[in-house]
Amino acid sequence: MLFKGFGLGLFIILAAVLMLSSVAADYEIFLRQHYDNPKSNVGDHYCNKMMQRRGMTKPICKDVNSFIHGTKKKIIAVCGDGGEAIDDRLWRSKNQFQVTTCKKKGSSTKPPCEYTEHKSGRYIVIACENGFPVHYVEGQT
């Protein structure tokens, strides 16, 4: 009987660890795709260089991607007191962030990829899991 209870406890612990490691992986992907603070000084053609540098041009060109130029602490805060819940997963920031959105030029999905860039201050909407951003949904002016 002791081992039966122990097995259930171990199962619960392992499930929690797997869930948290999944959130950690999703948060790392979010950072790679959407976090750039301070804004990288890559010279001309910021979007072309950043999309390539962050792995979003192979095997196909990603159509649209936004980079948030705010601290990790402020972005994470959107998932709590720095944001307003839209539903049980989506949060809208209370303050604006500087954001650069890169949009693919033309209809080809194959590299080399070329992008236009649009910079502005906007409110961000992100999906959160366990208090961490895991997906960028949109920006609102």
Q: Annotated active-site positions, please?
A: 34, 135
Query: The dihedral of CA 92, 98, 103, 109: what is its sign?
Result: negative
Amino acid occupying residue 14 = L
Decide: helix, strand or coil at residue 61.
coil
- Torsion 62-64-70-72 (CA) sign: negative
Residue type, 17: V
Q: Cα–Cα distance between 134 and 24 in angstroms, integer? A: 9
Six token digits for residue 103: 């949009």
Question: For residue 37, what are the contacts with CB-CB under 8 A and spacing of at least 6?
Answer: 68, 69, 70, 71, 72
Q: Is 56 helix (H, G, I), strand (E, B) or coil?
A: coil
